[in-house]
Amino acid sequence: MNYVLLAGFVLTAMTATNFAAEPPPAKKIPFKLEKHGHVRVDDYYWLKDRKSPEVLAYLAAENDYAAAALKHTEQLQQKLFAEMKGRIKQDDSTVPFKYGDYYYYKTYKKGSEYPVFARRKGSPEGREEVLLDVNALAKGRAFCSVLFPAVRPDHKMIAYAMDTGGRRFYDVYFKDLATGKTLKERIEKTAGDMAWANDNKTLVYVKQNPETLRWERVFAHELGAAADREIYFEADETFEVGVSKSNTDKYIFLRSGSTLSTEYRLLDADAPAAAPRVFQPRLPGLEYDVEDGGGKFYVLNNDHARNFKVSVCLATETARSGWVDLVPHRDDTLVEYIEVFEGWLVLKERANALGRFHIFNRADGKESWIDFDEPAYLAELGENFEYKTDTLRVTYESLTTPDSVYDIDLNTRAKKLMKRQEVLGGFRPEEYAAERLWVKARDGELLPVSIVYKKTVDLKSGRNPLHIYSYGAYGYSSDPYFSSIRLSLLDRGFICAIPHIRGGSELGRRWYEDGRQLKKKNTFYDFIDATKFLIERGYTSPAHLYAEGGSAGGLLVGAVANLAPELYHGILAGVPFVDVVTTMLDPDIPLTTGEYDEWGNPNIKEYYDYILSYSPYDNVGRKAYPNLLITTGLNDSQVQYWEPAKWAAKLRDLKTDKNLVLLKTDMDTGHGGKSGRFESLKLTALEYAFMLDLEGIKE
């Protein structure tokens, strides 16, 4: 018998082929946390020190234990990885989008992990000019994320933002496209959010707070200048600021936003040294977004309009008193966002849990709609950089239709398919079917659930393995997207389900509001009720059910694990937000103060009590739990690694079953995992192998 001792943690090895391991013991150091006269004792608070050698050793020991527990699945993992990679066309490009005289796109070369950003002048068939090869930048790095470059208005220079640590701190570099040389000057530790002014020498960008990571300051960097100039500081800790440029190129927008309030400032893109002016001062509960229409502004807003409406105002009268309603509020339709062109106004709407585009001719006011006919799909506006155009770029996909790019003639509404994602490996969409089910939740609400399966599956056998995933927070909808990776489950007999639970916006703003703050438990109940429906209708049974959620979706499955553990055989929790009370009481933890409108402020007792009643970490009990695979990243900027680490330790201490609790920490990455297009698949292959192994599927 071999023993591996690592900073006091013992792993026991039998043989290379028959490996029995005990999870690393997590020591208990009681730490008292008191609020509102209530005392909680956190035995694993010590894991919060990311620089502690003991903490790092513990995380490494957990990784060793997870690897040991899943070692017998390595061949399956390799097979799954090869499958997933094999479906991806390696030598591929995106559809070029027009900006000025150029067509910009990104391309991948065979065997490469990262994109090459490129353009062609005059037409999509022109000579290719490489702007940036991210593969060269990523060489020798464990992590490398490079955003699409910001192109200077004269198209002679790009600014590109690169994060090499996974914590979403981007350094900005400048590349002269005429000489091909990268300038020596750079901007360190930015948010990666930036826009060029029209003088071709000023870059407006955002910096985040180094501790809380809140996007709080806007600066102007003038090429060659000794120092950058601060344009704006967002003092309210519940707001974040971002920048963007109008389609007309007249303005750089400075958008300050919290969950339930917005304030825009307009910076003249032709005079970046001038002070920005406030569009409409912030008001509690007033959310709005602005698009420039050349002499007038279009304002998407919720002023006495729960699902939002569209108003218009003159450039000289931007205060709310000058807004005139153009598209009224509708109880059954949510306006998600708008896009303005010289001759057209385009609304992205959602009704009955499905997206559509609402088109207005600005000259005569005539309106039309662009719809799609599958039972469940995802449709969004694509890259539209030209203000003077009659062509609209949109993207479309469904559970059975790969990602597709359409150009739509706004005069005739004719759709032209520009490209559909090519899925290699013999994929035939007609072999799969998708449905939209409607489930009655415990309070009588009708809950939409999207499912996809291979047509050879017996839907009513009660023995099908089923993977159920959702998110349910911040108003983000869990749309029924296409996944070539998911085929590895579908082809092995899985049914995959996406319940569109409250906390998202699938059924309008009410759907979101009924799943936040003091109504948050509706999110968990919806997920559980959808699960029970699928069991009752014979799609599956608890012995074959696997739940997954990430980030706030990790909170979802963490809460569900406490509320209804008997329904699931396994749970995948990615970068899970599970220590809700402690995190929301600590303003020094990244992103906390801006979250009060979403979860509630636990400094107020009513919210404290409610959050405490569902917080996954605080509610771990002495009961049986499903098998759990918990993943995180040491450099995570959104959900700190110690939350899942503490949760795993507490689960192991209290649970009464012999099921697995595995914690896997990527020591090089953050919230989004690996940065390469193939490397990122290895974690998915491991997660799928975890489920398939529990299901007894070995191939």
pLDDT tens for 166-190 read: 889 999 999 999 999 999 999 999 9
- Helix, strand, coil share (%) of the chain residues, nearest 5: 20, 35, 45
If residue 642 lies in a helix (H) or strand (E), which one and from where to where?
helix 642-654
Please report whether residue 14 resides in a domain.
yes
pLDDT for the residue 6: 36
End-to-end Cα separation, the chain, in angstroms: 31
Residue 11 confidence (pLDDT) above 50: no
pLDDT for the residue 589: 75
| 3-state DSSP of 456-525 | CCCCCCCCCCEEEECCCECCECCCCCCCCCCHHHHCCCCEEEEECCECECCCCHHHHHCCCHHHCHHHHH
Which residue matches tokens 């955002």?
Answer: 206
Count the neighbouring beta carbons within 10 Å of the beta carbon of residue 58: 26
Active-site residue identified among 404, 551, 615, 637: 551
> 124, 6, 18, 133: which is closest to 68 by C-alpha?
18
Structure tokens at 109: 């070369």
Which residue matches tokens 């192109």?
Answer: 151
CATH number where 58 lies: 3.40.50.1820
Please report whether residue 63 resides in a domain.
yes
Active-site residue identified among 636, 666, 675, 693: 636
pLDDT for the residue 671: 74
Q: Answer yes or no: do 571 and 665 share one domain.
A: yes
Residue 4 confidence (pLDDT) above 60: no
Q: Give 91's contacts (C-beta < 8 A, 6+ positions apart).
A: 108, 109, 110
269 vs 264: CA distance, rounded Å: 15
pLDDT band at 691 (very low <50, low <70, confident <90, very high): very high
Q: Are strands 324-327 and 309-314 parallel, antiparallel or unpaired?
A: antiparallel
pLDDT tens for 602-654 read: 999 999 999 999 999 999 999 999 999 999 999 877 789 999 999 999 999 99
Annotated active-site residue 270? The verdict is no
Which residue matches tokens 């509630």?
Answer: 600
Mean per-residue pLDDT, 84-91: 94
pLDDT for the residue 639: 86
Q: Answer yes or no: do 438 and 519 share one domain.
A: yes
Count the neighbouring beta carbons within 10 Å of the beta carbon of residue 179: 10
- Split into its structural domains, the chain has a count of 2
Structure tokens at 124: 């999509």
Q: Answer yes or no: do 516 and 579 share one domain.
A: no
Q: Answer yes or no: do 530 and 445 share one domain.
A: yes
For residue 354, CA distances in Å to 169, 334, 413, 502, 585 come to: 35, 10, 19, 15, 37
pLDDT for the residue 698: 92
449, β-bridge pairs: 437, 499
Please report whether residue 493 resides in a domain.
yes
Please report whether residue 136 resides in a domain.
no
Count the neighbouring beta carbons within 10 Å of the beta carbon of residue 331: 9
pLDDT tens for 423-440 read: 999 999 999 999 999 999
Mean per-residue pLDDT, 72-83: 97
Residue 9 confidence (pLDDT) above 70: no
Q: Answer yes or no: do 461 and 530 share one domain.
A: yes
> 216, 271, 261, 224: which is closest to 241 by C-alpha?
216
Active-site residue identified among 484, 671, 675, 693: 671
Q: Answer yes or no: do 462 and 535 share one domain.
A: yes
Q: Answer yes or no: do 582 and 526 share one domain.
A: no
615 vs 606: CA distance, rounded Å: 14
Annotated active-site residue 551? The verdict is yes
Please report whether residue 113 resides in a domain.
no
**Residue % of the chain over a pLDDT of 90:** 90
pLDDT for the residue 16: 32
Give the range of the structural domain holding residue 59, as residue numbers without chain letter.
1-69+550-555+566-677
Measured in residues, the chain has a length of: 699
pLDDT tens for 12-55 read: 333 333 445 789 999 999 999 999 999 999 999 999 998 999 99
Contact 330, 341 (CB under 8 A): no
